[in-house]
Amino acid sequence: MSENLKLSYETDLKLLHETNENFYEIAWSARHQLLEKNLQGIDDIQEALTAFRKLDSRYFWKVQRVLAGSTENGPFNHYYTGKIDVSPKDLKAANEQFLVSEQANKRQIDIILDSFDDRTDAVVELGAGYGGNLIRLDNAFKEHVGKSLKERNIRLIMAEYTEAGRALCSQFLKRKNAPTIEIYHIDHKAPDVSFLGPAISPLFITVHSIEQVTEIPSNYFKILSDSASNVRGLHLEPVGFQFEPASPQWKEHEKFIKQKNWNQNFANVIKKAESDGYIKIDKIDTAFAAGQPANPTTLVLWHSTT
């Protein structure tokens, strides 16, 4: 299967500004091709997802970049070309990394399940990529409870900024034993969750998604908390340095985040939301996971109070 992997992918996307959003627009588009060209023979959705993750993990994916512009029209700017070059990793190291990633993902799914309460009627992942977490969540729920989320009247909602990510999720959902997942657009910089409709007790989750946005708006958690009468939020994000700015253990991570121009205001925004009375923070665990040594995950759990 992996021997037939193309060495490069070219999407229909041309000369996009170098932003995190555009990076993933191209990345998910290439992964869509990966799925269609290499994994069509796998019918079961859970088997297809595992095979996809394993194949994906065996290669380095590099989005091509160019400089464009002129001194007459202003400074040169970085653009993505829409092309991705693929090169293999050391197979043994890649397989070991895949197993570590699978364990980390299982732990994340277990934490999400533990964050349900008796009233939860919707699980909403904001910035869900291609929906892999929700696909696995439904399977884990069946194993724990004996029924699917749909059978328990709990909606699965995948909200993702990129069109390519949403399309890739739709492609996965064509397989056997696929859960029912509603798919919508979301922008962390201007979140609109009106797609919730009649939900009363949604659980919002993010997994290294807010990470990609340098600054979320000051009313981010008010928007979420106002969306229904009983709202809960679970965030698995690399924000430990924001909660413990004086701790020397975070210096390298903070430097890494700032070099990437990733999120730097999550802690301030959520603490302000709590002080303003919109939410109550139930838990902050900066030691949740160090599976990514350069980008460790912090867990933050909260519920609405208004």
Mind listing the domains of the chain with CATH numbers? 2-91 (no CATH), 96-304 (3.40.50.150)
Q: Residue 291 has what DSSP assignment?
A: S
Q: What is the pLDDT of residue 235?
A: 98
pLDDT at 236 over 90: yes
Coil vs helix vs strand at 109: helix
Q: What are phi and psi of 261, to 5 degrees?
A: 60, 40
Rounded Cα–Cα distance for residues 125 and 181 (Å): 11
DSSP secondary structure string for all residues of 232-250: EEEEEES-HHHH-TT-GGG
Q: What integer pLDDT is reported at residue 259 of this predicted model?
A: 93
Q: Work out the average pLDDT over 122-132.
A: 98
Residue in this structure with the two tokens 């925004």, named with its chain if needed: 269
- Rounded to an integer, the average pLDDT of 202-206 is 98
| Mean predicted lDDT score pLDDT of the chain | 92
Q: Is 152 exposed, middle or buried (0-12, 13-18, 19+ CB in 10 A)?
A: middle
Among 231, 236, 235, 282, which Cα is nearest to 122's? 231
Residue type, 267: A
Q: CA 146: distance to chain centroid?
A: 27
pTM attached to this predicted model: 0.93
* Chain CA centroid to CA 87, Å: 24
* Both tokens assigned to 176: 């056997």
Which of 163, 160, 164, 97 has its CA nearest to residue 134? Answer: 160
Using 50, 70 and 90 to split pLDDT, how confident is the model at 78? confident
Whole-number pLDDT of residue 1: 40
pLDDT digits (tens, 9 = 90+) for 207-228: 999 999 999 999 999 999 999 9
Of 210, 220, 299, 221, the residue nearest 257 (C-alpha): 210
Residue 2: predicted pLDDT: 47
Handedness of CA 274, 198, 201, 189 (dihedral sign): negative
* % of the chain exceeding 90 in pLDDT: 84
Whether residue 160 contacts residue 166, with contact meaning beta carbons closer than 8 Å, is answered with: yes
- Give the pLDDT of residue 75: 62
Tokens of 8: 């490069």
Mean pLDDT on 109-137: 96
